[in-house]
Amino acid sequence: MDTVEKIVEDFASDIAMSPFSSGTRLRDMIRAIRACKTAAEERAVVRRECAAIRTAISENEPELRHRNMAKLMFIHMLGYPTHFAQMECLKLIAAAGYPEKRVGYLGLMLLLDERQEVLMLVTNSLKQDLNHPNQFIVGLALCALGNICSAEMARDLSPEVERLMRSREVNTKKKAALCSIRIVRKVPDLAENFMALAASLLKEKHHGVLISAIQLCTELCKASKDALEYLRKNCIEGLVRILRDVSNSSYAPEYDVSGIADPFLHIRVLKLMRILGQGDADCSEYMNDILAQVATKTESNKNAGNAILYECVQTIMGIEATSGLRVLAINILGRFLSNRDNNIRYVALNMLMRAIAVDVLAVQRHRTTILECVKDADASIRKRALELVFLLVNDTNVKPLTKELIDYLSIADPDFKGDLTEKLCSIVEKFSQEKLWYLDQMIKVLSLAGNHVKDDVCHALIVVLSNGSELQGYSVRSLYKALQAYGKQGSLVRVAVWCIGEYGEMLVNNVGMLDGEEPVMVTESGAVDAVEIALNRHSADATTGAMCLVALLKLSSRFPSTSERVKQIVARNKENVVLELQQRSIEFSSIIQRHQSIRSSLLERMPVLDEASYLVKRATATQATISADKLAPTVAPGGLKLPNGVAKPTSAPLADLLDLSSDGAPASTTTSTTTPNGFLQDLLGIGGVSTGTTGVPSIASTDILMDLLSIGSSPSQNGTPGQAESKPVHAVPEAIDLLGSLSSTTSVSGLEKTVHPSITAFQSATLKITFDFKRQPGNPRETTIHATFTNLTSSTYTDFIFQAAVPKFIQLKLDPASGNTVPANGNGSVTQGLNVTNNQQGQKPLAMRIRMSYKVNGEDRLEQGQVSNFPSGL
């Protein structure tokens, strides 16, 4: 018996001393967990501690409840499940004492969220604590409600929060205002209940209450337009007073930050001012004086002052400020660019990019400083400054800016050369007014960073060279000299070798000398030497090697004396490991040896490349790669702006417009007839127009597409599609019959020309698009649409691009737009022509998916929709 009693006593003693019993303190558990050397040991400690806590919960030990909850919160932060103790939080909250409630509410905020059903059980406890006479318990309830309240709890407890916002206790008012922010976010319909209360709190003196009230006002503006209008009428004067008082206040140690009185309140007030003043001229005018005072009086030698100045600049740019105030704001950003802090310079560059749309001349005054930022040691600042310089370039400053950037290109970091080269090429192509200047700059770029120049830039240069007959001699000489000095630049080698092959005789004979140009002494053998060196140096590059072999073959025809030498050089590549070069070498050797009679005619100079068609082709490829998240302006050589809405050869953008990305429609194996916009038939991803033995198009693919477009129109069931298609396409009686139901007709050369009423094809809060229609005489299937784009906002749209997609039975051709900038407030518009051919006119109506992309203050915007309200008969 004594032995049994001794065993029980020892067991009880062990339990009391065990570090994993429910009676251990939080610090002991933390110490035990930190002593673990492996994850398995940690899991074992947590598992034992959780088991002890479960035992304590089942035995209902109230004296250990708060200690266990503290442990569970730590275990929860380590990532272990603690759902088994959720009810313990509610028991602690229901306790009478403040310490228990504090732990309970803390556990409630950590262990639960608004999706937990258990949370509904705490609503009554929260309501009781919100009416508790102890302000500290009220504060606990407000904190918990502001962190985890659901929509149902917000509706139930909103009256209590409104009552507490009228409390005399400063801390209670502050916490009630913060709690109401959560309520407004969860239930925007309750915003009207807090508008007057928020406005009244702006009259308080305590800065904590003011910041909370301003945050609430900001949230109310986002939640309700009525609240926005109410606060514009009732809060502007109070905000101006607050900002003036805090700006002129004397030293107060409780609010002072680096010698500036409460910068946090400054910034909150400025942010709310920006929201209230945006698009409202009266409010903006009332703010102008205080904003000018803050911008001029705030010290910029402290980080807190710089934060206030930056927020002030953002507010000035966001409201309808005067031009003088905007210039003051841009000058502040110019001072930021001279700051030694990289963060300040970066945000200044970001803000200047947005300011260009507002006042480009004021930004131009800081061009020199911005150029210095391009040469900064920080990579992010260099890149942002380069983008800003690109936006600053115009016809008047393009030459000095280009010279500065090219001079820096020679010493730029290799990682930065790619971006710098791309921007330089875009600038030169977009703003070149003279071909000679364009050629000089491109040759410099190729010489300094030829390995970073893209192939399409080289192709564009070759097209310009082909069309500039008066500059071909000068170009080949300049490229030859550059090739001698910078022979390792791949793109330079390709362009130079092509020119030497085409215009080698001009190089040797110094044909087409310009005024002031020094002649270059090059022999026929010297021209072949230059190409041979390039071939040997770049033998691993199949493209460069192939161009070198072609150039050598052409030189053998231009310079007969070098024919034998060229034959030997070409023959050396017959065993080249690169299959392309091996094949060319064998074929070219055959031409030199066996086809002397046709070699001269075979190797004549290439015909002049069509520059206009190349620009259109390049535009299609460029716009096809533009993503919806990042749209950039597209330019072409010679200053030619590329047209908006040019057809795209890849499927991603238009297939996305038609919402075909998730459909698995089978593709037809037959090939459709190529049309001016035949790429659409490939882009739709449903297959070409399949034909039967009678050559009649199948309706299967069009039915699928019509279903995708949800326009519910199907071919007539009274006759076969073949019968419908067998009528002559251009028969006048059929055209007149199809148009017979239309009331407005005018006779044109014996045919019926119909003008349909205009429609609003698309309208949102920011953009309106109208379509005007005109039927082409003699072809009832073809319709000309005149699209007009109108900006309904107060901000100008830049880089505007219109894209459209149609079903397979419709052919679409987009003409260039009248511009890419849509003026604000409907003060002008952009127009664009569309030619539409409905191959199933009379059977299926027109349908079109449209997408508009543009920039507002440097930020990309995207809108899209479907046009299905076309007039009948089209």
pLDDT 10s digits, 193-234: 999 999 999 999 899 999 999 999 999 999 989 999 999 999
State pLDDT tens for residues 504-517: 898 888 888 888 88
**How far, in Å, CA of 255 to CA of 206, rounded?**
11
**How far, in Å, CA of 602 to CA of 605, rounded?**
9
State pLDDT tens for residues 440-477: 999 999 999 888 888 888 888 998 888 888 888 999 99
**How far, in Å, CA of 213 to CA of 205, rounded?**
12
**How far, in Å, CA of 393 to CA of 356, rounded?**
11
Instruction: Look at 100-104, 110-114, 172-176, 706-710 and tell me which has the smallest mean pLDDT.
Output: 706-710
CA distance from start to end of the chain:
107
Alpha carbon distances (Å) from 138 to 126, 128, 161, 176, 310? 9, 9, 10, 9, 38
The amino acid that residue 606 corresponds to is: M
**How far, in Å, CA of 147 to CA of 853, rounded?**
38
CA angle 325/357/312 to nearest 5° reads 35
Confidence of residue 658 (pLDDT cuts 50, 70, 90): very low
The amino acid that residue 248 corresponds to is: N
Confidence of residue 625 (pLDDT cuts 50, 70, 90): low
Confidence of residue 380 (pLDDT cuts 50, 70, 90): very high
Higher pLDDT, 308 or 638: 308
**How far, in Å, CA of 124 to CA of 838, rounded?**
67
Confidence of residue 682 (pLDDT cuts 50, 70, 90): very low
- Max intra-chain CA distance, the chain: 127
Instruction: Look at 236-250, 465-479, 769-783, 787-801 and tell me which has the smallest mean pLDDT.
Output: 769-783
Instruction: Look at 182-196, 412-426, 442-456, 700-714 and tell me which has the smallest mean pLDDT.
Output: 700-714
What does the mean pLDDT of the chain come to? 79
pLDDT at site 41: 92
Alpha carbon distances (Å) from 9 to 3, 5, 17, 64, 634? 10, 6, 12, 22, 87
Instruction: Look at 255-264, 579-588, 752-761, 764-773 and tell me which has the smallest mean pLDDT.
Output: 752-761
Question: Residue 479: is its pLDDT beyond 80?
Answer: yes
The three-state DSSP-derived secondary structure of 740-774 is: CCCCCEEEECCEEEECCCCEEEEECCCEEEEEEEE
Closest of 813, 746, 733, 814 to residue 780, by C-alpha = 733
pTM attached to this predicted model: 0.61
Confidence of residue 632 (pLDDT cuts 50, 70, 90): very low
Question: Residue 721: is its pLDDT beyond 80?
Answer: no
Find the mean pLDDT for residues 566-585: 88
Highest mean pLDDT among 92-96, 387-391, 676-680 belongs to 387-391
E runs forming strands in 235-343:
256-257, 260-261
Instruction: Mark out the alpha helices in 625-675 (DSSP H runs).
Output: 652-657
Write out the DSSP string of 478-536. Answer: HHHHHHHH-TT-HHHHHHHHHHHHHHHHHHHHT-SPPTTPPP----HHHHHHHHHHHHH
Question: Residue 558: is its pLDDT beyond 60?
Answer: yes
Instruction: Look at 64-78, 427-441, 674-688, 854-868 and tell me which has the smallest mean pLDDT.
Output: 674-688
Torsion angle, alpha carbons of 412, 416, 422, 427, to 10: -50
Contacts of 626 (CB under 8 A, 6+ apart): 632, 634, 653, 801, 853
3-state class percentages of the chain: helix first, strand second, coil last, to nearest 5? 60, 10, 30
Q: H/E element holding 407?
A: helix 398-409
Are the CB atoms for 808 and 681 separated by under 8 Å? yes
Percentage of the chain beyond pLDDT 70 is 81
Measured over the CA atoms of residue 628, residue 632, residue 633 and residue 636, the dihedral's sign is negative
Distinct helix (H) and strand (E) counts, the chain: 39, 12
The first and second tokens of residue 302, run together, are 């402290």
Question: Residue 739: is its pLDDT beyond 80?
Answer: no
Question: Residue 292: is its pLDDT beyond 60?
Answer: yes
Percentage of the chain beyond pLDDT 90 is 28
State pLDDT tens for residues 18-40: 444 445 688 888 999 999 999 99
Question: Residue 347: is its pLDDT beyond 90?
Answer: yes
